[in-house]
Structure 1
């Protein structure tokens, strides 16, 4: 029978530290930026076909399905390279603070997304998407670092899950906008909507207070902070965990992005095969994207409690195994069924759930690095995978072109998660540890 002391301890554990106004405002600013970040990222996938169909002839190329696929892969690879270069925001945030640099990342991706609506050639669109990628990549690292440092210790793990839902809420928002604004006004209107995050960046800059952890680190170790934080994450203390985290994130990026980016095209092909016309197929792609997003949001929310119960490494292993199976089944099996639309979309929901593995990195990465290098480490590890993702995307585009099919090349990316499963044991287990100062 529980004693009075036992009941008091249980009550204390059940009572979470209340959030102050700055922490709440900061979270919603970071979440909104992450949501609009996800919306911006997925707008391109949804408007890829109509945008390139219009721009390729203006650029001197025929708008054949093969050319649309190849140009789409090249432009997405440029976007990923820009995203990879976003590691520059990390050292800036370690030097000048989290909130100012977070606002700058949001402002950057919003402006260049809006400019994409003015593109007259494929090359102009490629340039705008490259610079939008630089901004988008930095937002994840800075938002994750901010929430980890600003929220109380007993709330920050779940905060990471809440934060990550924003990105996939952005996917859902992009699908809704494509179903309504995109269907009515075309692809340029979709890019113009991407200007809205400018407002969020202004709010973040004016209303959100800098984290206490960064301010204390700045006050206590000014001489250390002004050293190269990029160099510090490769010293003897951090080298192994930096490399392992970068590899694991590379695996996650290759697998999820391959599936997510080509998902609308796959659904359109399956819907057309099922007898739908062009408009109906486009709407079906929006519905499928919405379901994928809902599945991922659920996966993000389920992850932190699992990570607290069984540990970070085992949780990531479960999610990676789920991603490998769902990608292989969706693109390697359901895509080729005579009536594959329904089973494909059902598997997309499963794929979406396990795609919530990204929430673990928002929780886990800040636990592996001290404050003076945290943003740099987060930005580097989340960015480096984009370079490899760009290379893989070129390979996928070439395979699609040569094999004349979309399914098998995407299904092959499931192998990346098997590699990830072999690397996970090399990462540190930080379950039960507080965020290091």
Structure 2
């Protein structure tokens, strides 16, 4: 009996993390958190920044011009976000920690420089380059945690890591209520320069992953971008691209239009403008909390039933939640409370992104892992950006945002038919 108890305790005991692994995780998590904060800062300060900068650029700060300039700057940011695939081959060649620090330096410095903008052109350039840095952080952070953490911990590490992005939303909102209200939009952009400290910490305290060091020691040099498009990896690369694109379309559809939907429903319910905005902020917080819970619940489920079945459950949950919120609750006579309740479901299944932090590293060998991760995420961002702009046009054409957003549920149904073509990696160790 005692021997059985001893074996059970040994089985359940997890490999302890060393100081470098702990520092590396918190550096990656903090970078991902500040990445989310940086992304949300732009949404919060867009209107006051453009109201000041448009007249300095020779344009009147009318609502139409603010909206047009905001769309153009958002497009530039998304293009920079998509071009972030350049970090992948660099990380496969020069190491995870150096390049991870480089992505954080890039988005932090150019976010801080945005505070010095004299016109919209300067702001556009700074946001474009910041987007290149922001887009690369997830791929590098996910790759590092997967390689540096012990095999029995790395799956849960993926879930922990993904919570950082949504924690960044809270941080940005808190800064806006304090720093932004008292010191303005330039001070908000200056707070985005704080991640430089995280980058320095990563460079000074975090060791390179042993898996990358072993791969780097091999005499054979590869061209990782060509290899992931070669016969060995081509299918899983494109399947991962499609699945990530679907996830990104759903994320942006829900995240971009959720505040507007809540404000419309709150106004319809008789709330004053300020109260409606506060309600939208609370709803966004609920959505973020639910997404964090979804991220934490996903790794144990993926270990129990497999990666493909887990993603299918989350995709199906997203489809149902999108239809339930934007297709049904949004059109109810008193739809505010039901809509917000559906947002919790939508947020929980939006945690499907944690699966990609866990699953993508398992599908590629060390020598091409960062390149594959960065390429797949960048592809999804480019296509997702295009779909998002089409969605905006549909909202304008149909004069309602409920039905166009609800239709994005269809892409998750398509995803259910794509998932079987992906490899199942449950029970497999991270490939060398």
Q: TM-score range by the shorter chain?
A: over 0.9
Q: Deviations over 1:87-144 (max 9, x none)?
A: 1000000000000000010111112222333344444333322211111111000000
CA 1:399–1:413 in 2, change beyond 3 Å: closer, same or farther? same
What is the deviation of 1:287? 1.9
Question: Is 2:353 aligned against 1:353?
Answer: no
Rounded to whole Å, the distance in 2 between the matches of 1:142 and 1:62 is 41
Q: Is the 8 A contact 1:246 1:382 kept in 2?
A: yes
Q: Is the 8 A contact 1:58 1:121 kept in 2?
A: yes
Which deviates further from its counterpart, 11-20 or 330-339?
A: 330-339
Confirm or deny that 1:42 pairs with 2:40: yes
Task: Verify: 1:329 aligned to 2:324, yes or no.
Answer: yes
The Cα of 1:434 is off from its aligned counterpart by 0.3
- Per-residue CA deviations over 1:307-362 (Å, capped at 9, x if unaligned) read 00010000001111111121222223333334333322222221111111000000
Which residue does the alignment assign to 2:108? 110
1 CA distance for matches of 2:209 and 2:139?
15
TM-score (norm 1): 0.93
Single out whichever of 381-390 and 427-436 deviates more from structure 2: 381-390
Tell me how far apart the structure 2 counterparts of residues 248 and 419 of structure 1 sit (CA, whole Å). 9
Q: Is the CA contact (8 Å cut-off) linking 1:172 and 1:294 kept in structure 2?
A: no
What's the counterpart of residue 100 of structure 1? Answer: 98
2:164 to 151, 163, 166: 166
Alignment TM-score, normalising by the size of structure 2? 0.94
Q: Choose which of 410, 417, 426 in structure 2 pairs with 1:422.
A: 417
Say which SS state the counterpart of residue 222 (structure 1) adopts.
coil
Give CA deviations for 1:228-281 in whole Å, capped at 9, x if unaligned: 111111111111101100110011111102211232333333334444444433
* Alpha-carbon distance in 1 for matches of 2:381, 2:75: 9
Relative to 1, partners in 2 of residues 1:196 and 1:283: Cα closer, same or farther, differing over 3 Å?
farther
1:401 corresponds to 2:403: no
- 1:240-251 residue pairs with structure 2 within 5 A? 240-251=235-246
Q: Aligned pair count? A: 432
CA gap of 1:149–1:21, structure 2 versus 1, over 3 A, is: same
Aligned positions of 1:18-417 closer than 5 A: 18-56=16-54, 59=57, 68-219=66-217, 221-224=218-221, 227-417=222-412
Q: Distance in 1 between matches of 2:68 and 2:55?
A: 14
Gaps of 5+ in 1: none
Structure 2: gaps (5+ residues): none
In 2, Cα distance between the equivalents of 1:122 and 1:394? Answer: 21
**Aligned partners of 1:118, 1:278: CA distance in 2, in Å?**
32
Distance 1:249 1:28, change over 3 A: same
Q: 1:117 to 1:416 in 2, by over 3 A?
A: farther
C-alpha RMSD of matched pairs (Å): 2.1
Kindly tell me: are residues 408 and 193 of structure 1, through their superposed partners in 2, closer, same or farther at Cα, counting changes over 3 Å? farther
Cα distance in structure 2, aligned partners of 1:393 and 1:370: 33
CA deviations on 1:386-406 (whole Å, 9 max, x unpaired) are: 110121122122223333333
Change beyond 3 A, Cα 1:366–1:388: same
Moved more, 365-374 or 75-84: 75-84
1 CA distance for matches of 2:404 and 2:52?
26
More displaced 10-residue stretch of structure 1: 336-345 or 80-89: 336-345
